[in-house]
Structure 1
Amino acid sequence: MARGRFITFEGGEGTGKSTQLRRLAARLRGLGIEVLETREPGGTQGAELIRHAVLSGRVSEYGAFAEALLMNVARDDHLRHVILPALEEGRWVLSDRFHDSTRAYQGASCTVDEGLLQAMEEIVLSDTRPDLTVVLDLDVETGLGRARKQTKAEAKFLRDRFEDADLDYHRRVREVFLARARAEPERCVVVAADGDADEVAELVWRAVASRLGLKERSGTDDG
């Protein structure tokens, strides 16, 4: 059985990662591809507990290093119990955030050594890297406005603690994502996320189809 493909979605707050992941998953299933949708931090029971602790702000008092450490603990569990088994079974895995987010969000704090973040990344990931990373890019003010509007609409009891960070922090996060995309163009593709969901979905599909050699089935019967 051929190994599955691994696609990650990255970007700042309000860029539409979850929406675009679901749309791509549906399009891939239309091609007969078995898809697993997941997210980080999360994907396993233990990783979801870490997600709640970090996003609720409970960990922030211990600093960005503690956050980075817990993110990598969650990622290790996620990889070993969800991502790698699915890939070995031939399924395509689509993850809402992965290792780039730790480098962006914890790295943007400017309190964690870049070499330390890289070392943790290499230990946890080993030779596993996404086949393609879609970086959804949007100006910070628009993205935060979207994210906070969604939080209010969903009446979430707990705010995502990263939404409350200042604009300078989010600008640094955005720049880290873009810098990583520039550094690894063979893995990453940057997609402008300022259009409506349909427009962005088409841009994502074109990028994925081009990079991974996909073609949608014809609607006509050639027989």
Structure 2
Amino acid sequence: MPIGHRQSVVPHPHFVSLEGGEGAGKTTVLNALRATLRERGFEVVSTREPGGTPLAEMIRNLLLDPSHEPPAPETELLLMFAARAQHVRETIRPALERGAWVISDRFTDSSYAYQGGGRGLDPEFIADLERRVVGLRPGLTLLLDIDVEQGRERTRGRDLHPDRIESERDEFFQRVRATYRARAAADPQRFRVIDASQPAQAVADEAVAQLRAWLERRP
């Protein structure tokens, strides 16, 4: 069936996503999860959004470069989904179909949080795009939850040149966090919320524990 006609969103048990606001420490967690899966003999594809393919990385640069004119919220959302459609078709689905695990630094929940909660776009519009151009959802999503002020303090020492989204005001990120937390509360079967204010190793250890528990329940 052509990707544009897909009308359902199907979770895949070997697809894991990491979500969270700025400074949550997703990279450290991703590395720990990847090592855990490889120790068990699995092929692991680690990727990110926006991005994950050469074309999607070009779209990422358009989205995040602060030197461009600010995109309208709808433009930002549609570019995110253009990159995601390419990412799913070229990277994620082929990996899952050959039996690999996929770990993605962000996926569609980010659009609900950033373009929905942050920009105020209608979540039903986002859900329609998710059905029509993605059709896929992680089986497990780890939400690294951290207070906005603490998370941004972490990034201030790291990002000498923040991108366009990282430059938003705290109020924007408060809305993003609230949306993430609401989505996690509404879907506890998929989400695991981890306190990302802890030291990095403690966060990674908790994420690995959640993944191991997930592995015990999955085929």
TM-score relative to the length of structure 1: 0.88
Give the C-alpha shift of residue 149 in structure 1. Answer: 1.4
**Corresponding position of 2:6:** none
Equivalent residue number for residue 85 of structure 1: 94
Q: Who is 1:220 aligned against?
A: none
Partner Cα distance (1:172, 1:109) in 2: 5
1:97-116 mapped onto 2 (5 Å cutoff): 97-116=106-125
CA deviation string 1:49-87 (max 9, x = no partner): 111111113666231110000000100000000000000
TM-fit CA distance, 1:110: 4.1
Per the TM alignment, residue 115 of structure 1 is displaced from its structure 2 partner at its CA by: 1.6
1:144 aligns with 2:152: yes
Q: Helix, strand or coil: the match of 1:62?
A: coil
Further displaced range: 101-110 or 76-85: 101-110
Match of 1:56 in 2: 65
Of 24, 32, 37, 1:28 maps to 37
What's the CA shift string for 1:71-126, capped at 9, x where partnerless?
00100000000000000111100000000001111112444222211111111222
SS of corresponding position for 2:33: helix
Long gaps (5+) in structure 1: 153-157, 215-223
Paired residue total = 207
Contact 1:100–1:177 under 8 Å retained in 2: yes
Q: C-alpha distance in 1, partners of 2:79/2:187?
A: 25
Which structure 2 segments of 5+ residues have no match?
Answer: 1-11
1:45, 1:164 → 2: CA distance?
A: 25
| Partner Cα distance (2:162, 2:207) in 1 | 28
SS in 1 for 2:143: strand
User: Between the two proteins, what is the percent identity of the paired residues?
Assistant: 43
Q: Which residue of 2 aligns with 1:173?
A: 176
Query: Whose strand fraction is larger, Structure 1's or Structure 2's?
Result: 2
Which residue matches 2:163?
A: 160
One-letter amino acid matched to 1:74: A
**Greater Cα shift, 139-148 or 76-85:** 139-148
